[in-house]
Amino acid sequence: MTFLDKLRAAERANASLLCVGLDPDPARFPAGVTRDAQGIYDFCARIVEATADLAIAFKPQIAYFAAHGAEPQLERLMEHMRAVAPKVPVILDAKRGDIGSTAEQYAKEAFVRYRADAVTLSPFMGFDSVQPYLKYEGKGAFLLCRTSNAGGSDLQARHLADVPGQPLVYEHIAHLAQTTWNSNGQLGLVVGATYPNEIERVRALAPDVPLLIPGVGAQGGDAVATVKAGWRGDASHTRAPIIVNSSRAILYASAGADYAEAARQEALRTRELLAQAQRQALA
């Protein structure tokens, strides 16, 4: 199955638009979880087990593992996710962006070492920095487009004077992802939930690509506005999936020994909120 096939299947099987982000911060671990590499694995593994039937995708953020020398634990966690939730795709949140020869190595890291289904990328070095990832058949790649952080406007909301129509940078990236750059048909875009108007604009420019939408939960993004702006489909078919990510609100729903069950309850709540918005969009 391609990444998009797997994504649509997970959406149907788990009745979900919710992506569970795995950003393990040992300083926030509950009592009883060790604050070392093994603790990172144990914490994330329990979150995965608690939410495996609720997610459209999992999204481990590589920096939270690498900063603590926990790359081997990330490899184990990827294996664990494939065992516990074999039908749920895994997006490696790496935001890589480098020249072609280096990009080839990063692509190998994502798709061979970690066996991710998709990866996040920075497009600002141009297509030759993206192309090596598209050579992996059926794998997905999400380009940063209109990100949820405040500083994203520094570049993404600037006009391109030498492009016809003088689009904003993020609009041009959306156009490229829909058209000439999408050579393997598996390209997607990252658009923050804190900017629902921009989500709607990106969807208009890129009606056929999946959108990875962080910012719901701790960052304050509006789940209902997010679905209304980005999801397109009918009762039986999703034209282009949206993957609405929540990390900290789920991971740290409780500081006690019940953290996994609390994570599940928060994931259930968020999944239902997104489902309600989806039903409103269909009404």
Mean pLDDT score of the chain: 94
Q: Which domain holds residue 68?
A: 3-282
Provide the domain count of the chain: 1
pLDDT at site 223 = 79
Burial of 70 (0-12, 13-18, 19+ CB in 10 A): buried
Query: Residue 61 has which token pair?
Result: 């953020």
For residue range 254-282, list pLDDT tens digits in order. 999 999 999 999 999 999 999 998 888 78
Q: Which of these ranges, 86-90, 168-172, 220-224, has the smallest mean pLDDT?
A: 220-224
pLDDT band at 86 (very low <50, low <70, confident <90, very high): very high
Q: How wide is the angle at C-alpha 191 spanned by C-alphas 260 and 131, nearest 5°?
A: 105
The CATH number linked to 261 is 3.20.20.70
φ/ψ of residue 66, rounded to 5: -65, -35
| Residue 87 designated active-site | no
Long-range contacts of 105-112 (CB under 8 A, 24+ apart): 106/132, 106/133, 107/132, 107/133, 107/135, 107/136, 110/139, 111/136, 111/139
**87, 95, 108, 228: which one is catalytic?**
95
